[in-house]
Each structure stands twice: as structure tokens, then as C-alpha cells.
């Protein structure tokens, strides 16, 4: 590291993801000389825990970035669109967790286990991918390198924490009310989420897919750097607090047996294979919550085609899906001496 000081801004620090970012920075002993939490005016003056202290939250303003080297953003797309360019202009490198910049051709979209080289061409803003995309590509990249993936069909089972703190409260409240014989009034989600599954995440697009589904399609291709891969997705909200699960079917160019796939993934960075059907051992959201790795199990050959596999992929959506991946990007930027706006 060439710098003596490293000042880090966490923007959106009061949210579900922002709080986890502070926790991950602390747990990984990130070499910041100072960490400052920012949020909207609603939260200014409140405090968030970091190490042994409570940090006072500041309002994020146009001139907030002076003197900062790095900013981790998770404050929604609108905030990122407005503030990330201002940060970069002030010489502060941005790692942005919103969907705002991900498909901008000038902005690298990075999962450190998959495409760390993409960081080399950053111009001040780096995008953190969608949570469902991150866990899928961590598991699929080693398979793609070995057997070349032609097509991916994925269905997701996504936790409410992805939507933020309000959605966590909504699921808790609905469960409690239903147990007491009271009716529920949906607020964050369009329908009751307790004891239900909603085949809608984010808004609908003109092609009949949701934005979340198209994020999985487009981001996977950008991160893997291969537009020959065909991807189709169905994304579903389920009444789980933490941890996204995914049923993934792939078709490959080369034959890969289930056992070969298991061995390959067992040595892949960021992956833990949990696949012992005889012991009823497979990845589950309640086990993945709070963990850093992407868990893969139920690895089976797809018997309906020559060269295909089915996998079950689970990860903590707030950690690997958001906060941890963002901090890992920051660590990789430091390692490559890229914490500077070219």
C-alpha cells in the first residue's frame, strides 16, 4: 500500500447492508485509518456500532467526499446515480452496491473470485453485482472454465432481507399477526409474504420478466465475460429472513460428471460443498446465514440431456450477496494499488 492514511465513507450506513458493511470491515480488520458512516437526513445524528464505539451518522451531501479515499455505497440507485460521480470527481473510489451503474460499459462489475482483473480498468466507480447473481457465478465460474457452460436455467428462493430493514420487520409483523388471528396489511411487498411465495422481485419489464430476473441474465454475462452463455431466470420471494437459495440447471459443452463437479467445486475459492444425500446433508438458508462462503449441494447429472447438471446454491445475501463482496472488492483494490481515480 502506497498511502499512509485510508479514509473510508460508508454511504447508507443505517440500512441492512450498510450495517453489515461496518461489521465486515471490523471482522476482516480492513486497514482503514478512519471509517465514517453517512445516510440520509432522516438518520443524521443517529449512531451505528463499529468496533468498540458508536459512530455518529452524518448526512450525505455533495461535498461529503473531500479527503476520503474510498466510499462503499448501499443507499439505493437514485442516491448512487447522484453521489457516486461526485465522489469519483473528488478522488474517492466508489464501490457501489445499487443496480444503478452495473451495466454501464465504463464500470467494472466485479466478484473477486470470478473476475478481479476487471478492476484494472476502473475509472472511479466499481459496481457490486446483484446478490442472486454473485452467489451463482461464484459456483458456476469454475465449471465454466472446465466444461464451458452453454445455458443456465435458474429459479431463486430469495430472503426478505434483500429488500432492507423494513421488509424484515414486515415478515416478523405478519407472522405475529397471523398467529394472533389478525389480518395482515402488505406494505413493502404487494401481497402477504408470511407463509407465501411471491413470483415477483423488483418491477415488471416490457418483456414480462422482472427487473431482478433480467439483472441475473445481463450481469452473469458481463461478469463471466462471455456473451455466448444463454441465461433464463425466475426469481421468487420466500418467507425467509436471511439467505438466498437457488435451483440451477446448466448445460455444458463438455461432459462433467456429478463427482467431477463436486471435486472441482471443493477446491474453488469461496465455495463449500455440502452434498451428502445419505446423511440428508445439503445447503440451507438457516445454515448459510452469517457465513461468508457460497454453499453448493444436490449436485446431480441432468438425465434429460447429454451434458447437464443440477445444483442447489445457497449464500447469505447480505454478506456475500452485498456487504462482504463489496469489502472484498475494496481489499482487491488495495492489493492492486488501485485505490485512486485515474
Annotated catalytic residues are 131, 244
Q: Which three cell numbers stand for residue 24?
A: 465486515
Draw the binding track, 61-90, toward ligand 25A (x: CB under 6 A; -: no contact). Answer: -------------xxxx-x-----------
- Work out what residue 325 binds among ligand L14, ligand 25A, none; the CB cut-off runs from 5 to 8 Å by kind: none
Task: State yes or no: residue 60 binds ligand 25A (CB under 6 A).
Answer: yes
What part of residues 290-329 is at the interface with ligand 25A (CB under 6 A)? Answer: 321-322
Of 79 and 158, the one with the shorter C-beta distance to ligand L14 is 158
Residue 201 touches which of ligand L14, ligand 25A, none (Cβ within 5-8 Å per kind): ligand L14
* Distance from C-alpha of 239 to C-alpha of 161, rounded to nearest angstrom: 10
158 binds ligand 25A (CB under 6 A): no
Residue 109 or 271: the one with the smaller Cβ distance to ligand 25A is: 109
Asked if 97 touches ligand 25A (CB under 6 A), the answer is: yes
Query: Which parts of this chain interact with ligand L14 (CB under 6 A)?
Result: 99, 130-131, 158, 162-163, 201-202, 215
What is the C-alpha to C-alpha distance for residues 13 and 54, in angstroms, rounded to an integer? 12
- Non-local (6+) Cβ contacts of 265 within 8 A are 139, 142, 143, 271, 273, 296, 299
Distance between CA atoms of residues 82 and 78, nearest Å: 6
Q: Cβ 166 to ligand L14, closest distance in Å?
A: 11
CB atoms within 10 A of CB 117: 12
Residues 207-236 that bind ligand 25A (CB under 6 A): none
Which of 126, 102, 99, 98 shows the shortest CA–CA distance to 112? 126
Nearer to ligand 25A by Cβ, of 64 and 252: the residue is 64
Rounded to a whole number of angstroms, the CA Rg of the chain reads 20
299 or 327, CB closer to ligand 25A? 327
Pick out residues in 121-150 that bind ligand 25A (CB under 6 A): 131
Strand order in the sheet with 271-273: 230-237, 149-158, 244-252, 308-315, 294-301, 271-273
- The entry of ligand L14, ligand 25A, none near residue 16 (CB within 5 to 8 angstroms by kind) is ligand 25A
Q: Which is nearer to ligand L14, 166 or 255 (CB)?
A: 166
**Minimum distance from CB of 167 to ligand L14 (Å)?**
7
C-alpha grid cell, residue 265: 467445486
Interaction partner, residue 74 (ligand L14, ligand 25A, none; CB < 5-8 Å by kind)? ligand 25A
Q: Is 25 exposed, middle or buried (0-12, 13-18, 19+ CB in 10 A)?
A: buried
**Which lies closer to ligand 25A via its Cβ, residue 212 or residue 275?**
212
Which of 13, 47, 50, 56 shows the shortest CA–CA distance to 30? 50
- 8 A C-beta contact, residue 341 and residue 124: yes
Concatenated DSSP letters for 66-96? TT-SEEEE-S-HHHHHHHHHHHHHTT-EEEE
Interface residues with ligand 25A (CB under 6 A) are: 11-19, 39-40, 42-43, 46, 60, 74-77, 79, 97-99, 131, 162, 164-165, 321-322
Amino acid at each position: 500500500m502506497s498511502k499512509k492514511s485510508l479514509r473510508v465513507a460508508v454511504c447508507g450506513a443505517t440500512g441492512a447492508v450498510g450495517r453489515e458493511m461496518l461489521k465486515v470491515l471490523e471482522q476482516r480488520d480492513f486497514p482503514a485509518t478512519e471509517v465514517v458512516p453517512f445516510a440520509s437526513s432522516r438518520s443524521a445524528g443517529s449512531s451505528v456500532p463499529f468496533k468498540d464505539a458508536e459512530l455518529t451518522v452524518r448526512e450525505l451531501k455533495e461535498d461529503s467526499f473531500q479527503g476520503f479515499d474510498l466510499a462503499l455505497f448501499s443507499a439505493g440507485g437514485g442516491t448512487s446515480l447522484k453521489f457516486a460521480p461526485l465522489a469519483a470527481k473528488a478522488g474517492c473510489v466508489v464501490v457501489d452496491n445499487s443496480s444503478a451503474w452495473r451495466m454501464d460499459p465504463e464500470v467494472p462489475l466485479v466478484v473477486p473470485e470470478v473476475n478481479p482483473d476487471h478492476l484494472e480498468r476502473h475509472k472511479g466507480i466499481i459496481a457490486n453485482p446483484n446478490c442472486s447473481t454473485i452467489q451463482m457465478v461464484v459456483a458456476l465460474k469454475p465449471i465454466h472454465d472446465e466444461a464451458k457452460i452453454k445455458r443456465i436455467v435458474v429459479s431463486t428462493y430469495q430472503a426478505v432481507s434483500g429488500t432492507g430493514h423494513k421488509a424484515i420487520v414486515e415478515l416478523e409483523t405478519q407472522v405475529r399477526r397471523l398467529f394472533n388471528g389478525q389480518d395482515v396489511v402488505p406494505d413493502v411487498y404487494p401481497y402477504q409474504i408470511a407463509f407465501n411465495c411471491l413470483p415477483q422481485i423488483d418491477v415488471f419489464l416490457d418483456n414480462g420478466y422482472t427487473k431482478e430476473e433480467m439483472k441475473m441474465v445481463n450481469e452473469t454475462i458481463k461478469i463471466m465475460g462471455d456473451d455466448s452463455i444463454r441465461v433464463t431466470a425466475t426469481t421468487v420471494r420466500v418467507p425467509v429472513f436471511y439467505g438466498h437459495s437457488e435451483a440451477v440447471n446448466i448445460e455444458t459443452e463438455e461432459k462433467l460428471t456429478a463427482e467431477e463437479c463436486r471435486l472441482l467445486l471443493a477446491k474453488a475459492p469461496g465455495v463449500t460443498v455440502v452434498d451428502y444425500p445419505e446423511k440428508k446433508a445439503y445447503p440451507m438458508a438457516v445454515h448459510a446465514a452469517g457465513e461468508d462462503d457460497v454453499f453448493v449441494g444436490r449436485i446431480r447429472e441432468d438425465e434429460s440431456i447429454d451434458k447437464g447438471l443440477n445444483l442447489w446454491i445457497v449464500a447469505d445475501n447480505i454478506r456475500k450477496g452485498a456487504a462482504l463482496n463489496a469489502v472484498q472488492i475494496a481489499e482487491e483494490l488495495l492489493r492492486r494499488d488501485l485505490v485512486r481515480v485515474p
